[in-house]
Amino acid sequence: MILAGDVGGTKVDLALYGFVHGSLVPVREEKFPAREFAGLEEVVKVFLSRPGNEGREPVVAACFGVPGPVRQGRLKLTNLPWELDSRQLEMDLKIEHVYLINDLEANAHGIPELRADQIFTLSKGDPGATGNRGLISAGTGLGEALLAWNGHRYLPMASEGGHCDFAPRDEDEIALMQYLQRTLRGRVSCERVVSGMGLANIYAFCRDVKGMQEPDWLRERMRSEDPNAAINEAGESGESELCAKTLEMFASAYGAEAGNLALKILASGGMYLGGGIAPKMLKTLQGGAFMKAFTDKGRLSDLLVQTPVRIILESRAALMGAAAFAEARAAEMSGHSERAASLERNGSPARGPS
């Protein structure tokens, strides 16, 4: 049995996985409010002690995707008062193999585990092209990762590219940056525009600087509901011009930064959009603003036109990637592969990468 975790600033998502025919199969999953616990080990112990775990195979390996750079198996979270150490977790949880990896790296490891119906193709590009792939994920923050192609397989590599400087491209974005420089009192990163907080920032800019009307019904929804969900729903449905403009500006900035990443890593093998925002705004992303900004790269535009762009629809991709990473690393260390053993039991080939 493999334990996988996706650790965020507000919640911790944990899951147990097994293997059938070489493919990951979820056994149980549960989400926990992070701030109600003193540390990750406490959350895991509660999860593993739930009724129904009796008689199950023991956990042989665990991997947790965490926000931020992991150094020598250690990480200090910025949004929680937690300090994580993989060796300490091994001892506290009595699990032989425990790994901490960046959350975008976990998401990248999950891509080969996805089925075709868990991916939406925004632009086909050259579907037969091989080479590096990129992953950019707008959610609570903005994550970016490289999947380096070595001629045989993809090697996910984490980055903190979402914290690079925001580069405005037209008058509206210049005004947006100036507005954010005033409100933030300093530097503006890409994450301040392309993320959940970015959606709220663009909305406020369109309302307060561009003077777009916020009707009473929308103002009430913004107060009583999740503001980003209200913006997305009202924008996607066309109920609000203010929300539609917000989504259009967001999609354009998202496309531009995705294109920047594709150029930096030469992502001829394709770009993937992860995170929770993209699947909720498919109509806007298909509207043209994203791909126009993605391919608007001057002399290199044709390279971006040929780059496939795909949206990850499966919300558990990071969990799946953490599970796949834990199994693979534990197999290297122990010489026993849970995935390979499931093939021997079932006599069936594993599914290939997406």
Which pLDDT tens digit goes with each residue over 205-257? 999 999 999 999 999 999 999 999 999 999 999 999 999 999 999 999 999 99
Other beta carbons within 10 Å of 79: 15
CA distance linking residue 135 with residue 146, whole number of Å? 6
Q: Which helix (H) or strand (E) holds 23?
A: strand 23-33
Residue 296 · residue 259 · CB < 8 Å: yes
Residue type at 263 in one-letter notation: L
Phi, psi (deg, nearest 5) at residue 285 = -65, -30
Residue 34 · residue 10 · CB < 8 Å: yes
CA distance linking residue 252 with residue 331, whole number of Å? 43
Other beta carbons within 10 Å of 188: 20
Which pLDDT tens digit goes with each residue over 104-129? 999 999 999 999 999 999 999 998 88
Dihedral of alpha carbons 148, 153, 154, 156, sign:
negative
DSSP 351: P
- For the chain, domains (ranges, CATH) are 2-110+315-346 (3.30.420.40), 118-313 (3.40.367.20)
Q: Side-chain half-sphere of 264: how many Cα atoms within 13 Å?
A: 16
CA distance linking residue 12 with residue 16, whole number of Å? 14
pLDDT at 265: 97
Residue 174 · residue 311 · CB < 8 Å: no
* Total residues belonging to the chain: 354
Which of 57, 56, 60, 107 is CA-nearest to residue 333? 60
Q: Which helix (H) or strand (E) holds 228?
A: helix 227-237
CA distance linking residue 204 with residue 304, whole number of Å? 31
How many percent of the chain have pLDDT more than 70?
96
pLDDT at 348: 55
Phi, psi (deg, nearest 5) at residue 141 = -125, -165
pLDDT at 297: 97
160 class by beta-carbon count within 10 Å (0-12 exposed, 13-18 middle, 19+ buried):
middle
329 Cβ neighbours under 8 A, 6+ residues apart:
61, 63, 97, 99
Which pLDDT tens digit goes with each residue over 161-170? 999 999 999 9
Residue 354 has pLDDT above 70, yes or no: no
Other beta carbons within 10 Å of 170: 11
Residue 351 has pLDDT above 80, yes or no: no
Phi, psi (deg, nearest 5) at residue 269 = -80, -5
Residue 353 has pLDDT above 50, yes or no: no
